[in-house]
Structures are given as C-alpha cells and as structure tokens.
Amino acid sequence: MSTSSSANFSGSYKGMDQVPVPALISLAKAIIQGMTNNSTAIPSPIPPLAAVTAALTALETAETAAQSKVKGSVAARNEKKAVLVTILHELKATVQKAADANRELAPALIQSVGMSVKKAAVRPKRVFGAKQGAVSGSIELVAASAGHRASYEWENSTDGKTWNIAPPTLQAKTTMTGLTAGTSYSFRYRWVTKVGVADWSQPVTIIVK
C-alpha cells in the first residue's frame, strides 16, 4: 500500500498494550463515534461496532473495579484491556480497507474515525560534500545519514571511469588520505541498510591540495 494513506491510531499509541486505560477508553469512544458517523463509507465494520462497544463497556466496568483495589481486579482489568486492544487493531484493518478503496478521500476518512494518517517514510536527501582535509593529500567527505544500522561505501576516481574503493564506514563521513596534491578527484558514496544497497550518489569533484 505504498501509494495509499495508512491508518494509524491517534496520538502516539504505537504500543497499544502500553497505553494507560483512561486514554485507551477515550480513544475507543472517539473511534466508535467516528465510525458511527461514517456508516455510509464503512457500512459493515469488522468487528461490528456492537462488539467494540461491548468490549469498551467491559473495560470501563473492570477499570472501576480495579480502582477499588479488590484482589484480582487489576488482572481482570488487564484481560479486558487486551481484548479491546485486539478489537481496535482489527477495526483499524477495516478502516484501512475502506481507505484503500477510495484513495483520494482516504486521509479525511481515516481522520474522521478518530485515527491518524501514518506518515510515509522519507528517504534521506542526498546531501554530499567534499572539503580539504587537515593535511595535504586528504579530503573529508560528508554524506546524508541513512539512519541507524547503516553502513557507507566510498569510492574515488581521477577520470570518472575507473573507481578506487575506499574502506567502508559506519558513519556518514570519512577522510580519504594519500591522494595526489594538485589532482582533480571525483568522489561518490552509497549506503547499505537492511533493505538493500542504494545506488551510487552523483559524484562531487574537487582538486586536492
């Protein structure tokens, strides 16, 4: 679904099992209300709103009991919470299906049911620069970070055709040494992540001093 809007729970509720019960109850109420108001766009949600409402009511009752500190009430409340979390995730899948069927109105639909539009991952910009190093015959290179768990491969060339491999790094920067002063060099890099190997960047050229 790379070209469609992705439904996500409002706020920062990525780990729903970690959400405080009062916040979860408020979220569930907002979603139920939003789904009720969008019965035309989402006529047959799975699970049915009656099931969501029942799970919500059960959690509210269990939360009230848990506040009394009665033995076993907290464990019972947590069980009801887990049930509601599961149902909300199933409901999110229903919203996503409706959004995929109407991509133009997808963001508005997702937000109208109390959920949020998940931000698409943004690839880092190819900001790549070279400058003279601290000693003669050296060049410092700095590239855009590709995030955690990425490595970087570097190459240099004096003719733009034959490329010389430099040691890879775990940071988006490196210093190439042993270059010939007065010679024009081109440099390029690419990152390697768990997704795969990126294309080589556009080269930058500089005369080494």
8 A C-beta contact, residue 151 and residue 194: no
Distance between CA atoms of residues 64 and 66, nearest Å? 5
Distance between CA atoms of residues 198 and 111, nearest Å? 34
Residue type, 193: T
Helix axes 21-37, 73-101, angle to 10 degrees: 30
Distance between CA atoms of residues 19 and 21, nearest Å? 6
Question: Which two three-digit tokens encode residue 202?
Answer: 């556009």
Per the prediction, the chain carries an average pLDDT of: 86
Mean pLDDT score, 77-101: 87
Give the helix/strand (H/E) hosting 194.
none
Question: Which two three-digit tokens encode residue 45?
Answer: 């949600």
**C-alpha angle 154-160-163 in degrees, rounded to nearest 5:** 40
Mean pLDDT score, 151-176: 96
Residue 11 predicted with pLDDT over 50: no
Q: Which residue has the higher pLDDT, 90 or 121?
A: 90
Mean pLDDT score, 178-193: 96
Which domains are present in the chain? 6-118 (no CATH), 129-207 (2.60.40.10)
* 122: confidence class by pLDDT, cuts 50, 70, 90: low
Peptide bond into 47 cis (omega under 30): yes
The pLDDT assigned to 100 comes to 80
DSSP state letter for 43: S
Chain mean position to CA 105 = 22
Mean pLDDT score, 170-177: 96
Question: Which two three-digit tokens encode residue 161?
Answer: 């055709």
Which range, of 46-55, 115-124, 191-200, averages the lowest pLDDT? 115-124
Distance between CA atoms of residues 142 and 136, nearest Å? 18
